[in-house]
Chains A and B, each alone.
Chain A
């Protein structure tokens, strides 16, 4: 059965006050929750967008690597009991797996129609999901954040779960780091140039094939890391990758394909709309994402900051 367990914007604190009114307090809490959610989407959409911009691949296995990251973190945490180790080693692991798959399988398809790369990543996503089910079973597992990050932080009259604030902090740092990397470094300029015209970049004497492998690895590392970060909020289950893939696609469409800032704006818009709609009508919280997407697409077919077709 297709189990639906997308990131829930909030679990316990979603209540109206005694008179049944929504308080400002509640709305503010949901805004923070929306940002937390949104940042997970930002991390995923960033990788998806860079890979598309550079390599012209729509990566259907992006969700798989999110799930893989979560499962690896779960394994590492249950073996060593150290959550932070997972934050370092899991992205490395997913990057290595990603680069291996790129080198052995995807690379053979670059000369062909883009369709075959899509189909390949789709096939890989399917295989990966089945492997996860075989190894870990079809039932999801809960993942409790480490002691040091459990509990709540009080800010004036508000209190937030510590882990969510930690997640927000880490993901903002990574996003900022990625921005520095892309905008300010030599490698970043190759990425930006490759997004414009990868053929020209290769004509300038840059080994584009190696750049592709590294970009794919980087994208998979971030996807794995977002899986690690999301696991304590939502637990791990085999379908989590597929469930989040559609949302990531919506984020990329809203922000505009291939745009770094677009991924950030899109992710935040989606996270916020999802968590705020949860206050009014919880059952529509995911549907609203796709409605927002359709609306933005009708107004701006390229997405908010899209660069090219």
Chain B
């Protein structure tokens, strides 16, 4: 490999390396480890949503039902059977993928804004099922008693994940794996078609692509990663809050996505970090700080639609490109 190509390869992956570096030290900078884990899990869910909104242009509002169902599936498995940790995660992903297939199919039956209405309605459906089926889900009290499983490959090794630091790195493994996968997807021909659909769906259809199929695929892929995030979250919290399937969780992920910067993959991570950290700090002072978050969100919609990442890129260009001097 020549020096030049190595350099290109490094430049292409520089952001990734920097990101991994930041995440390696993050738990030791933040006031407590669990906060870093929370950032990580929401970052995963938001990056998954970025594949849908940022890359395919699908606005949907059932993030909570994917995230929350992943959490409930894992929670219920651990609560009743305590199977292997990988089995829990795998089942959650498979279950949510199936759910995403159904919602994706229904939501993409028609082009346009129907998808928003429909996914929100489906989210309510999942919420009310979780709310009413008290014997299964614990209803509004949430699902309790979910001991954190150990990291175990039978016959090989068994590591306890009770320490928050260990669980953080366990989650980080999945996060980086998912991030690289999602990035690969966005760079693949398949990902290019998704972006084509975002830019002009009618034209993509005219070229001969069955856009519904691609959109359903985006739903399933994005949904699966959200399910993975939810699965990790229930192991992390040892508890599934009913709010995880409620409208608010969808809203939170949407806000993280926009504040971070849509369609950038790195932006949503930033958004998740900013919102999670800000909420941790602000919550201590004022319970109703969501008001401020709402105002900030509206300001971003009005003035900075590229999100924080967009602002950073603008600043970088501003520094790098020599400005034309007057006269």
* Chain A interface residues (CB < 8 Å from chain B): 1-2, 4, 52, 56, 58, 105, 108-109, 112, 114-116, 118-120, 122-124, 126-127, 130-131, 133-134, 242, 245-247, 249-250, 252-253, 257, 283-284, 286-287, 290-291, 293-294, 297-298, 301-302, 309
Within the assembled complex, what's the spacing in Å between the Cα atoms of A253 and B127? 19
Q: Is B40 an interface residue (CB 8 A)?
A: no
Segment from B18-26, B230-238, B244-252, B269-277 that makes contact with A: B244-252
- B121 and A293 form a contact (CB under 8 A): yes
- A302 and B110 form a contact (CB under 8 A): yes
Q: How far is the CB of B205 from chain A (nearest CB, A)?
A: 13
Within the assembled complex, what's the spacing in Å between the Cα atoms of A250 and B59? 17
Q: How far is the CB of B145 from chain A (nearest CB, A)?
A: 19
* Chain B interface residues (CB < 8 Å from chain A): 53, 57, 59, 106, 109-114, 116-118, 120-125, 127-129, 131-132, 140, 242-243, 246-248, 251, 254, 258, 288, 290-291, 293-295, 297-298, 301-302, 305
- A291 and B254 form a contact (CB under 8 A): no
Q: Which residues of A contact B129 (CB under 8 A)?
A: 287
Q: How far is the CB of A4 from chain B (nearest CB, A)?
A: 6
Within the assembled complex, what's the spacing in Å between the Cα atoms of A245 and B247? 10
- A4 and B117 form a contact (CB under 8 A): no
Residue of chain A at shortest CB distance from B107: A297
Known: A1-B140, A52-B113. A250 touches B128 (CB 8 A): no
- A133 and B301 form a contact (CB under 8 A): no
Given contacts A2-B127, A290-B125, A309-B114, 4 further A-B contacts (CB under 8 A): A118-B113, A119-B258, A119-B297, A257-B114
Within the assembled complex, what's the spacing in Å between the Cα atoms of A146 and B288? 33
Q: How far is the CB of B243 from chain A (nearest CB, A)?
A: 6
- A122 and B114 form a contact (CB under 8 A): no
A284 partner, pick from B117, B121, B132, beta carbons under 8 A: B132
- Going nearest first, the 3 A-B pairs with the smallest beta carbon separation are A246-B124, A290-B125, A130-B291
- A123 and B301 form a contact (CB under 8 A): yes
Q: How far is the CB of B216 from chain A (nearest CB, A)?
A: 14
Q: Which residues of A contact B59 (CB under 8 A)?
A: 115, 118
- B258 and A249 form a contact (CB under 8 A): no
Within the assembled complex, what's the spacing in Å between the Cα atoms of A253 and B113? 11
Known: A2-B242, A130-B290, A309-B112. A253 touches B132 (CB 8 A): no
Q: Which residues of A contact B118 (CB under 8 A)?
A: 249, 253, 297
- B295 and A118 form a contact (CB under 8 A): no
- A126 and B114 form a contact (CB under 8 A): no
- B294 and A127 form a contact (CB under 8 A): yes
Can you report 24 A-B residue pairs in the complex whose CB atoms are below 8 A from each other? A1-B243, A58-B113, A105-B302, A109-B302, A114-B113, A115-B53, A118-B113, A119-B254, A119-B301, A122-B251, A126-B297, A130-B288, A130-B290, A130-B294, A134-B291, A245-B120, A249-B117, A286-B124, A287-B125, A290-B124, A290-B125, A293-B121, A294-B106, A309-B111
Q: How far is the CB of B250 from chain A (nearest CB, A)?
A: 10
Within the assembled complex, what's the spacing in Å between the Cα atoms of A116 and B113? 12
Within the assembled complex, what's the spacing in Å between the Cα atoms of A123 and B290? 10
Within the assembled complex, what's the spacing in Å between the Cα atoms of A294 and B297? 32
Within the assembled complex, what's the spacing in Å between the Cα atoms of A58 and B247? 16
Within the assembled complex, what's the spacing in Å between the Cα atoms of A253 and B248? 22
Q: How far is the CB of A277 from chain B (nearest CB, A)?
A: 12
- A242 and B254 form a contact (CB under 8 A): no
- A120 and B298 form a contact (CB under 8 A): yes
Q: How far is the CB of B126 from chain A (nearest CB, A)?
A: 9
Known: A2-B246, A105-B302. A250 touches B116 (CB 8 A): no
Q: How far is the CB of B292 from chain A (nearest CB, A)?
A: 9
Q: Which residues of A contact B297 (CB under 8 A)?
A: 119, 123, 126
Within the assembled complex, what's the spacing in Å between the Cα atoms of A64 and B300? 21
Q: Which residues of A contact B246 (CB under 8 A)?
A: 2
Q: Which residues of B contact A4 (CB under 8 A)?
A: 128, 131, 140
A133 partner, pick from B127, B131, B288, B295, beta carbons under 8 A: B288
- A253 and B125 form a contact (CB under 8 A): no
- B125 and A291 form a contact (CB under 8 A): yes
Q: How far is the CB of B321 from chain A (nearest CB, A)?
A: 26
- A309 and B110 form a contact (CB under 8 A): yes
Q: Which residues of A contact B294 (CB under 8 A)?
A: 123-124, 126-127, 130
